[in-house]
Structure 1
Amino acid sequence: MLAALPLLLIPVALYNIVVLFNGSDVGMAQADAILSDPLFTVTMASGAQWSVGVGDLILFVALVILFFELLKSTASHRAAIVNHALSMILFVVCLIEFLLLRGFATSTFFLILIMVLLDVLAGFIVTIVASRRDMDFRS
């Protein structure tokens, strides 16, 4: 049953931990500051400084996990159906957080929200295409 859990729950949980545990009333500006505060800086060959913040790392993790979620969506066993339903619930929760909680109205969380939406759409589309291929409509 653990295989049915949507992996994109990880970056959503990371975002929640970073934003909600950094103050009781974190607004959008404070959340942006927390997420963009550089963790480390890399000097590029051009001499430019590339600063990587918490939000950047969360987005990187979310992109990698989205790849594995899309691979998982091609499975046709029962756990995949439960995964699609849980992904839809995760999308609804993320949408509610984005619309109603002040610290979640950031570009970082919006991109995570879009990744969760893509996971939901890909899961349902792959399931529909696979089921249409399995059905034989010859007369």
Structure 2
Amino acid sequence: MLVAAPLLAIPVLVYNLFILVGAEGRGDSAALAALADPVFSVPMASGAYWTVGMGEILLFFSLILLFVELLKSTNSQRVAIVNHALSMILFVVCLVEFLLLRGFATSVFFLIMTMVLLDVLAGFIVTIVAARRDFDMGPR
């Protein structure tokens, strides 16, 4: 049944741990600052530096997991229905956190929450299209 778990729960959990535990226990403001602090920078051909923070790394990881979730949504087995339901629950949890908890009203978390919503929508749309194709009786 672990296959049914939405993969986007991983970045949500990482963000939750980061904010709720805080950056080394220093609170959510320090955790938010740590998300924005540069982790590394890459010199570009233009002479500019591309700086990447922990928030951007988490978003990149989330995009990869969204891609895998979209591939999983094409599966029409029973486990896919459970995955869609768990993804919907995850979206509701993310929405409540975004609206009610102080450290979650950030662009990074909003984008992660949007990815979870896209996973929910894509899963239901793919399931509906596949069901319509399976039950199509031919030309009308």
Give your verdict on TM over 0.5. yes
Write out per-residue CA displacement over residues 69-117 of structure 1, whole angstroms, 9 at most, x where no aligned residue: 0000000001100000000000000000000000000000000000000
Q: How does 1:52-63 map to 2 (within 5 A)?
A: 52-63=52-63
Give me the identity figure in percent.
68
**Number of equivalences:** 137
Distance 2:12 2:41 in 1: 25
User: Alignment partner of 2:76: what SS?
Assistant: coil
Q: Counterpart of 2:94?
A: 94
The match for 1:51 is 51
After TM superposition, the structure 1 = structure 2 runs for residues 118-133 of structure 1, keeping only pairs within 5 Å, are: 118-133=118-133
Q: Which runs of structure 2 are paired with 1:1-139 in the superposition (5 Å)?
A: 1-22=1-22, 23=25, 26-27=28-29, 30-137=30-137
Name the stretch that deviates more: 17-26 or 99-108: 17-26
Structure 1 contact 87–119 (Cα < 8 Å) conserved: yes
Q: Contact conserved, 1:31 with 1:106, CA < 8 A, in 2?
A: no
TM-score of the pair, normalised by structure 2: 0.91
CA distance in 1, matches of 2:44, 2:26: 38
Q: Which runs of 5+ in 2 are unaligned?
A: none
Distance 2:98 2:27 in 1: 15
Contact 1:39 1:53 (8 Å CA) reproduced: yes
Q: CA deviation at 1:25?
A: 5.0
CA distance in 1, matches of 2:26, 2:33: 15
Gaps of 5+ in 1: none
CA contact (8 A) 1:19 1:34 kept: no
Q: Secondary structure at the match of 1:75?
A: coil
Q: Which one is further off, 32-41 or 97-106?
A: 32-41
Whole-angstrom distance in 2 between the partners of 1:134 and 1:24: 55
Deviation beyond 3 Å, 4+ runs, structure 1: none
Q: Secondary structure at the match of 2:28?
A: coil
